[in-house]
Amino acid sequence: MTELKYINREENKNLQIKDLITLGLYTILLILVMAVGIGISTIVTAVVFGGKVYFATYTSITSAFVCGSVYSLIFNKINKNMAIFIMIAIIGVFLAISGHSVVGGVVMIASAVLAEIAFRYGNEYLSYLFFNLGTIGIILPMFFMKEAYVKHLQNRNYSEEKINLVMSTTDLKTFVFIVIFTIIFSIIGTYLGRKLYFKNFNKAGL
């Protein structure tokens, strides 16, 4: 049985060109796996709520469950200062320029700082948790800046029907539910991701 050990910070060095190339590839992979999480969220909300709930509201939960393995690759394989920060910052910029609220990008940058600090203390669970809590920033305006978010959706040419669907579950109870289950699935995702990395990816030289 492979023991799941934290990496040795004494061996850590600055990012090299080859590390940046690898980081770029893994970041693209992480974005693709996040898209899988969105797909799962779409299916689950369609089945459980009959399509009456906006799927993106719960994507931080499903993404937390499926992205742990890729995050573990970046955390343990690249194993260099600023790798985690750069990766999350890139995703935050990507979200901002792809039409999401700027608030989401700002929150992602803040989560990048916290996740990087957790990395430097060698805590993958906490680092991954901060990353996933950062993804909640995308939907924060839905709950706490409702008028501004409706205008944002109108500017994106959302129909009145779709806007009503998006804003149908923006109560505080739903937000608390999302935060709690994002935390729970972050822990599960980290555990599964680490097992997959140390038992498969690490042996394969990835």
> Three-state SS string across 9-62, please?
HHHCECCCHHHHHHHHHHHHHHHHHHHHHHHHHHHHHHHHHCCCCCHHHHHHHH
pLDDT at 2: 44
* Statement: residue 156 has pLDDT above 90: no
pLDDT in tens, 168-202: 889 999 999 999 999 999 999 999 999 999 887 65
pLDDT at 41: 92
Return the structure tokens found at 206: 């990835």
* Statement: residue 96 has pLDDT above 90: no
pLDDT at 200: 76
Gyration radius of the chain's alpha carbons: 18
**Cα 68 to chain center, whole Å?**
9
pLDDT at 4: 52
Reduced to 3 states (helix: H, G, I; strand: E, B; else coil), residue 87 is helix
Average pLDDT over residues 47-70: 90
Is the Cβ–Cβ distance between 12 and 81 less than 8 Å? yes
